[in-house]
Amino acid sequence: MIVFQHVYKVYDNKLTALSDINLTINDGDFVSIIGLSGAGKSTLLRTINKMHDIQRGSIYVDILEDSREPNPNYSQELREYEKKEEEAKALRKKLKALGEGAEAEKARARLLGLSSLDKPSKYSNLKKKRKVDVKTVRGKELRLLRRNIGMIFQSFNLVNRSSVYKNVLSGRVGYHNSFETLFSIYSKKEKMLALHSLDTLGILNKAYVRADKLSGGQQQRVALARALTQEPQIILADEPVASLDPVTTVAVMNDFKTINQKFGITIVANMHHVELAKKYSTRIVGIKAGRVVFDGKPEQVTPKVMREIYGDRIENTENEEAGGTR
């Protein structure tokens, strides 16, 4: 859950970007924020993960943190793991004799599954939910907050010279210290999670392709897979389809909808196209001059509501929607 209470944001040039924002976003919501350029949409989004600080008010976010407790099944899990380790050793010896063929392929597939197993721990890693005030978080707590929140940008923000797989695996950085991050030390489970995220987004076959060799739509899917690998509770998206063609836009929006429904991840997205917002969101928030002027269901976005959000620009906005331009 995300709760805004009387939030104000004023920039150094005295421009008031947000004025008395009161808003509650529930777990599992797919919220689209609409409004004119400069209305405060991006500022609102970026205050949630503290990319922008606020001057007054509070923003509360429910986050999950790790909690370790003794693993009551450790002895049994260890015995099973050791048994499978022995099976893996036997399979490696067997493969040398098998050469090629159907039986060899089955053995390789079995060995791959056994090799991906992590040794059991004496402790169970649990998740505990608690509420934090974004305005006051610092240091480790800020890192924990951002670990719970994935961020999707219009410009993708990928490392172009790195492979798709490495870009997606970087979603785990928030779970590691500087040494592990520097030397790309990740567990087998994390590596499998990255590949599973790529598979979920339908781009597993691009795992070892350089990011800059992909189309815009594919790059945005990589960014989405990276966020998914982060295992966030919330995904923030700042006009994620603004630079994509109409066909790719629909595909990427379908991906957002799938992630929202399949994984229960809360999505908050700034949307330029109102019709897309109405089609994919469960809720729409209209911003005008830094204030919330509408908060309701997509079917409640009437021409009157549109005029309230966009004012004199409503006719131009409708023409843009009809023509598919930005």
**pLDDT value of position 232:** 93
Whether the CB-CB separation of 191 and 171 falls below 8 Å is answered with no
How far is Cα 223 from Cα 226, in angstroms, rounded to an integer? 5
What DSSP designation does 294 have? E
- How do the residues of the chain divide into helix, strand and coil, expressed in percent and rounded to 5? 50, 25, 30
Identity of the amino acid at 232: P
How far is Cα 101 from Cα 32, in angstroms, rounded to an integer? 53
Nearest to 235 by CA among 220, 250, 224: 224
What DSSP designation does 118 have? P
Identify the segments of the chain with pLDDT beneath 70: 66-69, 123-127, 313-326
**CA distances (Å), 154 to each of 216, 242, 308, 317, in order?**
10, 7, 26, 20
Q: Is 256 helix (H, G, I), strand (E, B) or coil?
A: helix
**pLDDT value of position 100:** 77
Whether the CB-CB separation of 317 and 37 falls below 8 Å is answered with no
How far is Cα 42 from Cα 60, in angstroms, rounded to an integer? 18
CB-based contacts of 223: which residues, under 8 Å, 6+ apart? Answer: 152, 153, 156, 157, 158, 167
How far is Cα 23 from Cα 38, in angstroms, rounded to an integer? 19
Q: Is 97 helix (H, G, I), strand (E, B) or coil?
A: helix
Instruction: Compute CA 65 distance to the chain's CA centroid, rounded to the nearest angstrom.
Output: 17
Nearest to 44 by CA among 16, 71, 67, 63: 16
How far is Cα 186 from Cα 181, in angstroms, rounded to an integer? 8
pTM (2 d.p.): 0.76
pLDDT digits (tens, 9 = 90+) for 15-51: 899 999 999 999 999 999 999 988 999 999 999 999 9
Domain 26-52+137-321 grouped into CATH 3.30.420.40:
no
